[in-house]
Structure 1
Amino acid sequence: MKKSLCILILSIVSITTFGQVIPKGTRFIGGDLSFNFLSIQEDGVMEGNSIQLGVSPAYTQFVKDNFSITYVLGYNIQSTGTRTSFGNQFYSAATHTVSAGVRFANYKMISDKLGLSVQYGGQVGYLFNTISRDIAQGNNVQGVTLGINAGPGIIYLLNEKFAIEGTASIINLNVAYSWIDNDNIINVGTGLSASPGLGIGFRYFLK
C-alpha cells in the first residue's frame, strides 16, 4: 500500500508542468482548519476517544508555475478522554501545540477553476498539556515536536480573489521530546496514518 501511494504521489507531481497553470509570482494569504478523530479501544483495559482541532494562518508564494512555498503558523489542541475498566474512572486531558513550519505544493489545474495538488512539508512546535486529574502526579507535560507529512489536496477557485482548498495528511513522521520534572520521554512515530488528518482552508489572492 505504501508503494502504491508513493507511486501515485510521484505521478501527480510529474504531470504538474502540463496544462493550465497557477503562474509564478502568484501570492495568497489564507488559513486552514484541520480536524482528526480517533477512537481508543483496548479490550478489557480502557476505552475512549481523541479529537484534534487546529487552525493555521499562512502566506503562500508561487516560486515557479504550479509550485508554491507556504509559511505556516499554527495552534493545535488534542482532547483525549479515556475510561479504565479496572477503576471505572474517567480521565481527560488536552494537549496544546504552538508551531511554525514550511509547506511545499505541486499543483495540476484540470480546469479553469479546479485543481489537484501534492503537499509536503514539516513543522516544529512547543507542546504542553492540561489534565483533569492527578494523572502525572500533579505535573504537566511539556515538550517539543518535529513533524514531517505529505498528502494530496484539491483547490477550487471561486473567483479571481478567493479559493477553497482541502488537504489530507496521509504519510506522517513525528518525533516528540517531552519532560515531566527530571523524567524525559522521546516518542517517534512513522508510517501511513490509520486516521488521516483532514483540513479545509480559504485563500485570498494578492496577485
Structure 2
Amino acid sequence: MSKSDSKENVDISSSKSTVIVIGISGATRSGKGTLARNLVTYIGEEHCLCICQDKFFDVEKIYAKLDGNWEIPEALKPEEFLKQISKMIDSQKAKKSGKKYVIIEGFLAFTDSRICNLLDVMFWLDINKEVCYQRRMTTKRVPHDYFEQYLWPGHLQYKSNVFENAQLKQRIVHIDGTLHASKILDMALDTLQLRTPTENGCTCVTT
C-alpha cells in the first residue's frame, strides 16, 4: 500500500481523542518491535507507552496442552493482555496535556476483536517465508521442523483470518517489512501525520 493509499484509509487528524492507539502486527522477525521502539523514540517516552504481546504467553499451557506450539491464540493470555492495554489507555487519558499514544505490538495482535476495536491505526509488516526463516534463524533460532510445522503455518492461518475480515482488511496499512527501519518509520509517521524522522533528528534502531 502506498503512502497516499494509507492516508485515504486512516484519518486521525480530526480525532477528538487525546489518546491514539496504534497496533503493529505481522510475522515473527517482520520488524514489529523495531518499529514500536522507533515510534517511542520519535514521539518521546513521556507521550508514548508500548506493550508487547510476547509478554503474555501461557507457558505452562503451551507445554501441557498445546504440544509446544507457541504460534496460536490459545498459547496466549488474552484477558491479561487486554486488561493491561486498558490500564495503559486509562493512564494516558489521565494525563492532561497534548496527544498521547499507546502502541500494541504482537504477532497475533489483531486476533482479538476487542483489541482491534480499541485501535485507531493498524500497521501490518509483511515479509515472505524465506525472509522470515532467514531472520529467525540468525536471531532467535528454532528447530527447522518447528518452523515448518508450527511457526510459518501458524502465521499463514492468522494472516488469512485477519484479511478475510473485510472490515479489518480495509483498516490495515501494509508496510514492506524488508525495507530499512528508517523507511518503515517514515511510512508509519506519514500515516500518523507526524513529521518525518529527518525533521525531528530521530536516530532509528535497526534491530
* Class of the TM-score when normalised by the shorter of the 2 chains: under 0.3
Report the structure, 1 or 2, having the larger strand content. Answer: 1
Q: Which one has more relative contact order, counting CA pairs under 8 Å at least 6 apart? A: 2
Higher percent of residues as helix: 2
The structure whose Rg is larger is 1
When normalised by structure 1's length, the TM-score is 0.21
Calculate the TM-score normalised by the size of structure 2. Answer: 0.21
